[in-house]
Amino acid sequence: MTIVKLSETARKQGLATAVRVLETEARALQELASFLNDGFLEAIEMISTAEGRVIVTGMGKSGHIGRKIAATLASTGTPAFFVHPAETSHGDMGMIVRGDIVLALSNSGESKELNDLIEYTRRFAIPLIGITSRPDSTLATRADIALLLPPCAEACPNGLAPTTSTTLTLAMGDALAVTLLEKKGFTEKDFKVFHPGGKLGQQLMKVSEIMHTGDKVPLAPESITVPEAIAIITDKGFGCIGLTDENGKLAGIITDGDIRRKISGDILGKTAKDIMTLRPKTVSPDTLVAEAMAVMNDLKNSFRRITCLLVVDGEGKPAGLLHIHDCLRAGFA
């Protein structure tokens, strides 16, 4: 790869242009924030009470933005998909039915490819929300709700390439999606349903999804003898045992390392309570696996490596066990 060395003048000019673009669009976003009105809230109410899907449409650069908006809505609990406006005039209009809502994007509001779709929504009483910068445009005047963008200059020096306008449209779409998300009470658990794979799904994975439960968990009352504890550690194969008090709450833990360190003396004549470690590191079933990994990887505990964590419920009672190998199998390194 050849690295081109720029002159100091070219370098300054390039950075100045980039900064100008970002500052132009940042100012426009600030303007958009103050430009919102009750029409936005009406759009939220319309979408949240709809029986069908949100059909997003737009031509050219607005179409590219529309695809992203549709994807964001769908992934945050609002069923949505993108329909190309030019294709609707050749059969794809059948994808849109009563109960749906059309979200049409056009900065000018005059994209001719939208005309047939606009007429279709009017004929069959399908709600139409338009996002445009011109209040007097065909889209704005024919829509049930017009979400207007502030009149801001494009970042392109010729004022032609859609830059600021597409940024504003995308931001409006994000505002709709997140407001709908919060209105519906969409949670991390719901989010994971739509993102089961990839990094997002992994980041939202909880301990309860991969922990060992039931008879697989090495547990016993703290009153058992050390030989009995050793037998359970050996049988279960996790290298540890959790000890519970008379109320069933976790009282302590014994690891095979604890036994090796205390092997001298009359250890075999003692009870588990005599040698157990009090207040062991634990996590709850709702803890993210990534957070549990952080507990096991805590550098302060590096002199006694933690490979297992007991999982306790809200009452402090054992609910399961998480082993480092479970995390690795789930894709956490």
Q: pLDDT (tens digit, 9 = 90+) per residue, 193-208?
A: 555 555 555 667 889 9
pLDDT at residue number 333 = 62
Q: Which fold has domain 207-329?
A: CBS-domain (3.10.580)
Alpha-carbon span 83 to 86, nearest angstrom: 9
Using a pLDDT cut of 70, give the percent of the chain over it.
90
Domain ranges of the chain: 29-184, 207-329
DSSP 92: G
Contact (CB, 8 A) for 296 and 324 = yes
Say which residue, 91 or 166, is predicted with more confidence. Answer: 166
Alpha-carbon span 88 to 233, nearest angstrom: 66
Q: Whole-model pTM above 0.85?
A: no
- Is the domain defined by 29-184 classed in CATH 3.80.10.10? no
Rg (CA), the chain: 30
Share the mean pLDDT of the chain.
88
pLDDT at residue number 129 = 98
Q: What is the mean pLDDT of residues 265-289?
A: 87
- Write out pLDDT tens, residues 34-67: 999 999 999 999 999 999 999 999 999 999 999 9
Strands in 240-244's sheet, in edge-to-edge order, are: 219-221, 240-244, 250-255, 277-278
Q: Decide if pLDDT at 299 tops 60.
A: no
Say which residue, 203 or 295, is predicted with more confidence. Answer: 295
Alpha-carbon span 236 to 249, nearest angstrom: 20
Q: What are phi and psi of 142, to 5 degrees?
A: -90, -20
Contact (CB, 8 A) for 28 and 172 = no
Alpha-carbon span 92 to 140, nearest angstrom: 23
Q: Decide if pLDDT at 310 tops 70.
A: yes
pLDDT at residue number 189 = 62
Q: What is the mean pLDDT of residues 299-304?
A: 53
Q: Which long-range contacts (CB under 8 A, 24 or more apart) does 111-116 make?
A: 111/58, 111/59, 111/60, 111/62, 111/85, 111/139, 113/59, 113/85, 113/86, 113/89, 114/57, 114/59, 114/85, 114/138, 114/139, 116/85, 116/88, 116/89
Q: Decide if pLDDT at 147 tops 70.
A: yes
Lowest mean pLDDT among 175-184, 195-204, 225-234: 195-204
List Cβ neighbours of 190 (8 Å cut-off, separation of 6 or more): 77
- Write out pLDDT tens, residues 230-239: 999 999 888 8
SS3 assignment, position 162: coil
Q: Report residue 177's pLDDT band, with 50, 70 and 90 as the boundaries.
A: very high
Q: What is the mean pLDDT of residues 307-319?
A: 91
* Angle separating helix axes 164-184 and 61-75, nearest 10 degrees: 20
